[in-house]
Copies of this chain bind each other. A is one copy, B any other.
Amino acid sequence: MKVLIVGSVAYDTVETAAGRVEYALGGAATYASVAAGFYAEPCLVGVVGEDFEKKHEEFLLSRGVDLSGLQHKPGKTFHWAGRYLPDMIGRETLDTQLNVFETFDPVLPGPLDSLEYVFLANIHPSLQKRVLDQARNPRLIVLDTMDLWINTAKAELEELFPRVDVLVINDEEARMLTGEYNILRGGEMLLQRVKKAVIVKRGEHGSTLLTKEGMFVAPAYPVKDLVDPTGAGDSFAGALIGWLARNGDLTLSGLKSALVRGAALASFTVEGFSMDRLRKISAENVEQRVRELKALVAFE
């Protein structure tokens, strides 16, 4: 099953307690596509500049990512540079060069406008809207966002909620949107505003799924060697929608299974810089961690 994934493709320069990489492959849509590729056929819509290396496209193609929607523009690829604080949660942005991303227009070419599974990765809400307006046949729309858009484009973002099936946000963003400190209360307020489900990501503490059918608490896979948190949320959401597209089960039970695959896959992402760790694992490695997660929460 094909999955439409729209968002940023980037070069990341990242510094963490574990080391540093320069101009490594990054971007929300990239992480999400690689993750979704474990279960489905991701169709990536994004933009890159002339400096985007062939080897990265080859890697994405090797992971089954359809690049017919990847635009090539004169100029440079979006570049983000940041440094994580020692807690590996807080981070400071050192530099942001939007480059070709500044004028990105997410046009869905050819058959991509009829895909049923759509992931709107973290980009400006006006661009997310542009994609929604083109999607002719959506069965499941998953939307991610970030604090920047809540601060600068809240009205535009909130306008999209009634068209979204699954909203994926972190606990801090949920608080910003609702004014509620209590995850459950905030999550339920947001649930009233979307079609199907809200997933509140709680970093190392896991995630909470709220649906009209009931809720679910997914643990995070315990990672001892955290190298770089970049892309954790994107690969979580990518694996989630990939799993849902493959299985087609959008009930609470299906969403739970998808959430756990997202958690397991994201645990690999953070064990390396960029896509380093994801390059080396298989869907069976992910399933192994899913089994471990199951054992981790089992009790009598």
Contact = CB atoms under 8 A, between A and B. Distances in A.
A184 B215 CA distance: 26
A219 interface: yes
Interface string A224-242: 1010000000000000000
Given A202-B205, A205-B202, A206-B205, A184 B300 contact: no
A174 to B, nearest CB: 13
A253 B185 contact: no
A223 interface: yes
A63 interface: no
B296 A216 contact: yes
Given A88-B181, A181-B86, A184-B224, A299 B205 contact: no
A205 B89 CA distance: 16
Given A181-B86, A206-B205, A300 B219 contact: no
> For A86, A222, A223, A224, which residue has the most chain B Cβ atoms within 10 angstroms?
A222
Copies of this chain, complex-wide, total 2
A216 B208 CA distance: 18
A285 interface: no
B218 A222 contact: no
Nearest to A258: B299
B185 A224 contact: yes
Nearest to A185: B224
A224 to B, nearest CB: 5
12 contacts: A185-B224, A205-B206, A206-B217, A215-B222, A217-B296, A218-B297, A253-B300, A257-B299, A259-B299, A260-B299, A294-B299, A297-B297
Interface of A: 86-88, 181-185, 188, 202, 204-206, 208, 215-219, 222-224, 226, 253, 256-257, 259-260, 294, 296-300
Given A253-B299, A256-B298, 20 more contacts: A88-B181, A182-B224, A183-B204, A184-B224, A185-B224, A206-B217, A208-B222, A216-B297, A217-B219, A217-B222, A217-B297, A218-B297, A218-B299, A219-B219, A256-B300, A257-B299, A257-B300, A259-B299, A260-B299, A294-B299
